[in-house]
Every structure is written in structure tokens, then in C-alpha cells.
Amino acid sequence: MRVLFFSNPLIGHLLPQFPLARALRGQGHAVAFSTPEVMAPWLAPEDFELMLSGPTSQEVTGEVARRTGADILFSATSHLVGEYFAGVRVDLSLDEALAGARYWEPDLIVHEHLDFVGPLVAAVLKLPSAVLAVAPALEPETTRALASTVHRRYLERGLQMPSQVPPGQWLLDLCPPSLQRRGALPLRERVALRPEPHRGPDGSPPARRGPGGGRPRVLVSFDTASGSSSGLAPVLRSLSALDIDLVAATGGDPGDDLAPEPGRIELLSFTPAAELLENVSAVVHHGGPGITFGAAARGIPAVVVPGSVGQERQAERLAATGAGLALPLRDRQPAQVTAALDRLLADPGFTLAAHRLRDEIATMPSASQVAEWLVASVSARRTR
């Protein structure tokens, strides 16, 4: 079988697709990715077939601003989210993506939940598609905005609008039940897919030796998509007052203000989460689904410092399980972060709750199991 994956040019949307793509390839199927060229450095080590096309995030953002007069980076309303993912990106990507898909001739399309190019390609080519939800279910107002925006794109091509958004015959859901949005009941067949911390292409994280001393090791990982470590240094200085060892994911060049303290602070850039989470007692992070699900899969409690409304909701859901503490939105005050971490480490109840969440995730089907199920479902569909 030939399976074509689609993704926005966003690391947090691309990397969670790798376990399923690897599993399909390992079972003898051809796998390719259709995504903008800016994602090539992440895909090249995986040795998947690539069809690199479409605009960068910056180009989409610029076009959204031109059409609407608003900047989505400062005002991520439901309308702007719809225009970004289901409007502008589709308009700037579809023709080239469709040409690539016709050339590659896939049997199945898999797309992440905010990619609307893949399902449109599937509709034009009359192919089955599966949506891979890399985050909790979208809020109803966001779903309505996406559906309203993409509707015209289907009508323009004489296609019937899908009955659900995000589109897809099957929903592959990475979100553990305990962290799912309440009332998020899909109308289609839903298949749980166990989330995994991202690892390198060799299959196992390399052994690492971090700071010693027998103290708890704490990972600090804020949103590093931009490669900026802005605001990290004051938090690390404050956290270093605790009797802990720190591992900080900087996302790029640490900069002079993040000079490591020998034996206490270790700075790492662009390191797979599976490696970052090795031998960690707690995590301080921004609440993105990748690090949230990854830490939960390892049974590691967290202090969450959300940077967006969506991350705030995720932080609150994690706190409700007892596996972490949620700070107020964008409240990255070093003293508050340090106090929360001190409380987390002092109370073993947080770790016990994180272990319960880990055990819940362990019962979810693996990528290999879902790959087998998906192939069988496509084959069964063909015989109807």
C-alpha cells in the first residue's frame, strides 16, 4: 500500500506522525510526506519519500494579514485560525500538492488535524483518508470556523463538503482519554493511538550522562519553535536555587545569558524528546501537546506555564488528573515557577498521579497495531 502523509510546516504537527509512518514503512508499505520545504531537515534523516511544496508559516501568516488586516500571531481568533489553516494555506498549496499526489498515486492519505490540503486532495482523487489528531479535540467555535472557511473550497471544485471537521473516514487520536476535551465525541470511527515522545531515526535514544549529585533532574522545555530562548534564563536562575539538576531545551543557540552552570545546568538544543525525558523527575513546560503527552507517557509530573489559550486548557486538564500544576496564562514569573516546582517535587502524590496517566497511555494501541488496523480497513473498504 502507498500512504501519503500531509502536514502543516509546524514541528509540533509533523513529529507526532512519525511513529505511524515508521510503523507502516516497517510493515512493507511505501510512505511519503507532502509538506513545505522548510520541513526537509526534520524529514531527511527519516528517509521517507518527500514531495516538498507549499508556503511557509510566515508566508501564510502574511497572506492572512493581507486578506483580513489582522495578525494571527497577536489575535488568534477562531475566524483567523479558520482563515489560516482552511483558507489561505489551502489556496496556496492545493494545486501543487494535487499534482504531486497524482504523480505518486497513493492508496491512502493521512493528515494531521489542522491540515486541510490532504483531505481535499483525497476528495478530488476519490481516496480514503484518515485524520491524525496530534492534540486534544478542537473547541466547537474553532471547528465551526474551519468548516465555514473550507466549505467554499469544496464547492469551487464541485465536491461535497465532508460531514465532519476535521475531515477523514477515520480519526486516529493521540490524546489520552484523561486529557481529552469534555464532550469531544467524534461522529466517525475513532481509534486511539498511543502517543510517544519523539525519538531520533535510529530507534533508540543515545545514552546520556547529565549532572551528577543524586539530586532530582528537572527538564525545562518552553515553546522553542522559533529557536528563541527568550525568558528562559531568569527561570533557570530562579530554579537553580532548589536542590536539583536542570536540563534546559533551548531550541537553538543558548546565547550568552544562558551560560550553563557546571554540574547543575545542562543546555541542549534540538534534542529528541525521548532523550530529553531520560531520567527526569519532573518537567516544567509550556503545555504543548507534544511535550504534555510525551511526559505523561513516561509518567513524569509537570509544572505547566501555558503561553496560549489552548495550552492553558491543556494545562488545566493535566492538573485535574493530579499529575501536574497549572500556572496562569503567560505567567512565567520565575518565583511562581520555582514555588510550583518545589511543591511538585515535595508531594509524591503528583508522581503517583502521573504514573496512573502513564498506565492509561500504555493501554492505548501502539503505532504498529494501528498501522495494521488502518491497512486492513482500507482493504476492506475496497471490497465493498
- Do the domain assignments include residue 206? no
Please determine, for residue 287, whether its predicted confidence score (pLDDT) is greater than 50. Answer: yes
- Do the domain assignments include residue 209? no
Per-residue b/e over 106-145, b at no fewer than 16 CB within 10 Å? bbbbbbbbbbbbbbbbbbbeebbbbbbbbbbbbbeebbeb
pLDDT range class, residue 163, cuts 50, 70, 90: confident
pLDDT range class, residue 252, cuts 50, 70, 90: low
Summarised one tens digit per residue, pLDDT across range 326-380 is: 999 877 799 999 999 999 999 999 999 999 999 999 999 999 999 999 999 999 9
Q: Are residues 343 and 377 in the same domain?
A: no
Please determine, for residue 164, whether its predicted confidence score (pLDDT) is greater than 90. Answer: no
pLDDT score at 226: 42
CATH of the domain at 14: 3.40.50.2000
> Among 106, 344, 83, 122, which residue's Cα sits nearest to residue 239?
344
Q: Are residues 300 and 375 in the same domain?
A: no
Please give the grid coordinates belonging to residue 380: 476492506
**Domain range enclosing 127:** 2-195+364-382
68 three-class SS: helix
Q: What is the mean pLDDT of residues 98-103?
A: 97
Residue 197 or residue 332, greater confidence: 197
Q: What is the mean pLDDT of residues 213-239?
A: 77
Q: Are residues 353 and 375 in the same domain?
A: no
Distance (Å, whole) CA 378 – CA 108:
8
pTM of the model: 0.92
Please determine, for residue 208, whether its predicted confidence score (pLDDT) is greater than 60. Answer: no
> Among 20, 11, 16, which residue's Cα sits nearest to residue 372?
20
Q: Mean pLDDT score of the chain, rounded to an integer?
A: 89
Which class for 256: exposed (0-12), middle (13-18), buried (19 or more C-beta within 10 A)?
exposed
Q: Are residues 136 and 26 in the same domain?
A: yes
Please determine, for residue 120, whether its predicted confidence score (pLDDT) is greater than 80. Answer: yes
| DSSP conformation class of 260 | P
Q: Are residues 19 and 163 in the same domain?
A: yes
Q: Which of 35-39, 205-209, 370-374 has the lowest mean pLDDT?
A: 205-209
Q: Are residues 31 and 155 in the same domain?
A: yes
Q: Which of 125-139, 147-161, 178-192, 317-331 has the lowest mean pLDDT?
A: 178-192
Please determine, for residue 16, whether its predicted confidence score (pLDDT) is greater than 90. Answer: yes
Please determine, for residue 383, whether its predicted confidence score (pLDDT) is greater than 50. Answer: yes
Summarised one tens digit per residue, pLDDT across range 290-317 is: 999 999 999 999 999 998 888 888 899 9
Q: What is the mean pLDDT of residues 258-286?
A: 83
Q: Are residues 358 and 368 in the same domain?
A: no
- Do the domain assignments include residue 204? no
Please determine, for residue 211, whether its predicted confidence score (pLDDT) is greater than 60. Answer: no
Number of domains in the chain: 2
Residue 319 or residue 229, greater confidence: 319
pLDDT score at 230: 54
214 three-class SS: coil
Q: What is the largest CA-CA distance in the chain?
A: 66
Distance (Å, whole) CA 300 – CA 13:
22
Please determine, for residue 63, whether its predicted confidence score (pLDDT) is greater than 80. Answer: yes
CA distances from 346 to 91, 237, 325 (A): 52, 20, 13
- Do the domain assignments include residue 237? yes
- Do the domain assignments include residue 12? yes
- Do the domain assignments include residue 15? yes
Q: Are residues 112 and 234 in the same domain?
A: no
Q: Which of 10-14, 133-137, 161-165, 216-220 has the lowest mean pLDDT?
A: 161-165
pLDDT range class, residue 209, cuts 50, 70, 90: very low
pLDDT range class, residue 29, cuts 50, 70, 90: very high
Please determine, for residue 28, whether its predicted confidence score (pLDDT) is greater than 90. Answer: yes
pLDDT score at 186: 55
Please determine, for residue 131, whether its predicted confidence score (pLDDT) is greater than 80. Answer: yes
pLDDT score at 259: 56
Q: Are residues 303 and 175 in the same domain?
A: no
Amino acid at 316: E
Distance (Å, whole) CA 131 – CA 190:
10
- Do the domain assignments include residue 306? yes
Q: Are residues 148 and 32 in the same domain?
A: yes
Q: Are residues 44 and 190 in the same domain?
A: yes
pLDDT score at 185: 54
Q: Are residues 248 and 308 in the same domain?
A: yes
- Do the domain assignments include residue 102? yes
Please give the grid coordinates belonging to residue 88: 489561505
